[in-house]
A = this chain, B = another copy of it.
């Protein structure tokens, strides 16, 4: 029931996703009448979908704590419960992010060795695709949190982006060892020393995000959230200005018309719907948050991301790495960074 055009956008998105992966099946939670009416247009989807009626929904401005306490019968909570109960492999929602994280954490719990789940997204770069985390779940992070994000991000890049040996960078204000705050310095010191087979690149800067300098960009949720939204804002600014200049003159209009296939290819490369879906990593279950303003194509991608994480066994990979990491980790607990 979450998202600007829910639930029709959700149902349409399920249909698109089912075209890509034919063995999907769905449990959907919300207004049963609305949902079954919408599903009637998609007989194939209906065949693989079970509707669970509930009248309660979590609104977009509801505080996470309130949603957690009073939303026990909400569509969001029941969908999360389905993962907790083993009925579903993963949950996808376009609703309230904070409430989704709070409920998912409460129901699914975190994986062993992980203190705090993180929100991750992947995005296009000059060289391919990279993943960045945390994007807003944790406003303040210590070194341990960042190290855990690094390990989770590395597994995500390996399992979902299919990068054989993903490189990891910590976002900072410079690349020199002594730059930045204590959390990033200490986290880098731990990652430099670890015997896990991970490729730690060191510090990266804001412009390295778009360059694709590393496959995994690790940062605290404050910086990551600002960086991600700054990318979105810059993209909109550029696209808007380009359109304005092209439409502002006859030659611009003619040129744009002739170059339309190239301009379309450019636009398609950065189509935010292709990258829709923020992954909640570190939970004992798969949970993907779709952008609330996306359309059915974008929502389908969020479903497919969840499906990929389930079928690739992402969480088994994370558990495995953390077991190894924690075995050796007592060696690092005393690492100090010179100032």
Q: Any chain B CB within 8 A of the CB of A171?
A: yes
Q: Which residues of the other chain, B, contact A254 by a CB distance below 8 angstroms?
A: 255, 258-259
Cα(A246)–Cα(B256), bound, Å: 10
Whether A338 is near chain B, meaning CB under 8 Å from some CB there, is no
A63 → chain B closest CB, angstroms: 8
Name the segment of A41-49, A84-92, A204-212 touching the other chain.
A204-212
Q: Choose among A124, A241, A254, A255 the residue with the greatest number of B CB atoms under 10 Å from its CB.
A: A255
- With A205-B226, A227-B227, A229-B207 given, is the CB distance from A259 to B246 under 8 Å? yes
- A219 to B209 alpha-carbon distance, docked (Å): 20
Tell whether, in the assembled complex, residue B261 and residue A249 are in contact, meaning their CB atoms are under 8 Å apart.
yes
A259 to B250, CA, bound (A): 9
A206/B222 in contact, CB under 8 A: no
- Give the contacting residue for A206; candidates B230, B248, B260; CB below 8 A: B230
B210 x A233 contact (CB < 8 A):
yes
Q: List 20 A-B contacts (CB under 8 A).
A: A126-B237, A126-B240, A139-B173, A206-B225, A206-B227, A206-B232, A209-B230, A211-B233, A226-B227, A234-B234, A242-B263, A245-B265, A246-B259, A246-B266, A248-B265, A249-B262, A251-B262, A254-B255, A255-B263, A258-B258
A100–chain B nearest beta-carbon distance, Å: 15
**Known pairs A180-B222, A207-B236 / 7 extra A-B pairs, C-beta < 8 Å:** A126-B236, A205-B225, A207-B229, A211-B237, A241-B266, A245-B265, A248-B262
The size bracket of the interface on A is 35 or more
Q: Are B205 and A229 in contact (CB under 8 A)?
A: yes
Q: Which of B211, B222, B228, B255 contacts A181 (CB 8 A)?
A: B222
- Docked CA distance A263–B263 (Å): 12
Asked whether, in the complex, the Cβ of B251 is within 8 Å of the Cβ of A261, the reply is yes
Expressed in whole angstroms, the Cα–Cα distance for A235 and B139 within the complex equals: 27
What number of copies of this chain does the assembly contain?
2
Q: Which residue of B lies closest to A264 (CB)?
A: B245
Q: Are A222 and B262 in contact (CB under 8 A)?
A: no
Q: Cα distance A260–B259 when bound, in Å? A: 12
Question: What are the residues of chain B within 8 A of A251 when measuring CB–CB?
Answer: 258-262
Tell me, in angstroms, the Cα distance from A173 to B260 when the chains sit together: 36
Residue of B nearest to A256 (CB): B259
Nearest-neighbour CB distance to chain B for A226, whole angstroms, equals 4
